[in-house]
Amino acid sequence: MTIQARRILVVDDDAEIRELLTRYLNKNGFDVESLEDGAELSQQVRRWKPDLLILDIMLPGEDGLAICHRLRKESDLPVLMLTANAEETDRIVGLEMGADDYLAKPFNPRELLARIKAILRRSRLPESAARVPVRYHFDGRQLEVRTRTVIFEDGHQTMLTGADFKLLMMFLQVGNDILERDHISEVLHSRDCGPYDRSIDVSVSRLRQRLEDNAKSPELILTHRGVGYVLAANVRCEYDDGE
């Protein structure tokens, strides 16, 4: 049986970086295509159906942050952003726009490969034969697992990105228990959460904006300062057999 290689789309205006990434990732078993800007990105995503996008922030014309924000309205394709600036503000903005992870230039190719593999592992839906809920009910909301769609009491719907979906699933699976920051960081970013790391706060804030009436005064996802967060709602699971 032939196993199809995972597909990675690289968008970077530096031809040398595109060539280096293509050779390195090909050598490590990935199919790679590349673009120098985001002008034809949407068409390429629809045509080639990549498994992951490596996106540089500094691009001619529409920059990587704007592209990521636009892409999130069309797709839940995992995004790894590259930035020449290691400032925390840039990393936070990237996460707010919907990126799954970020890496500062210059980077070690082995670290890039490790982050790619971690994102691809996280992007897969559960594959075990265990009985998995098809939907969750919580605080007047309903999550359709297969489509990653939240349906609200008034009938309006929102489709979650890969990272937002995983974070919500974590909350739903632990119910009213505290979800610790370190655990969130390990699952979402494959690393421990440092004392000054705001990436978890950004991820939770983004999910609140998708779910809460007023994300600045949250009533659904509450903060336990210095420890983590808790979902202030009763959770009911529904399975294919209607239970």
pLDDT digits (tens, 9 = 90+) for 130-166: 457 899 999 999 999 999 999 999 999 999 988 899 9
pLDDT for position 3: 46
Confidence of residue 128 (pLDDT cuts 50, 70, 90): very low
pLDDT for position 243: 53
Give me the domains of the chain, ranges plus CATH numbers.
Answer: 7-123 (3.40.50.2300), 135-238 (1.10.10.10)
Whether the predicted pLDDT of 100 surpasses 70 = yes
Instruction: Render the chain in DSSP notation, one character per residue.
Output: -PPPPPEEEEE-S-HHHHHHHHHHHHHTT-EEEEESSSTTHHHHHHHH--SEEEEES--SSS-HHHHHHHHHTT----EEEEES---HHHHHHHHHTT-SEEEESS--HHHHHHHHHHHHHHHSPP-SSS---SEEEETTEEEETTTTEEE-TTS-EEEPPHHHHHHHHHHHHHTTS-EEHHHHHHHHHSS---TT--HHHHHHHHHHHHH-S-TTS-SSEEEETTTEEEE-S-EEEE-TT--
Whether the predicted pLDDT of 167 surpasses 90 = yes
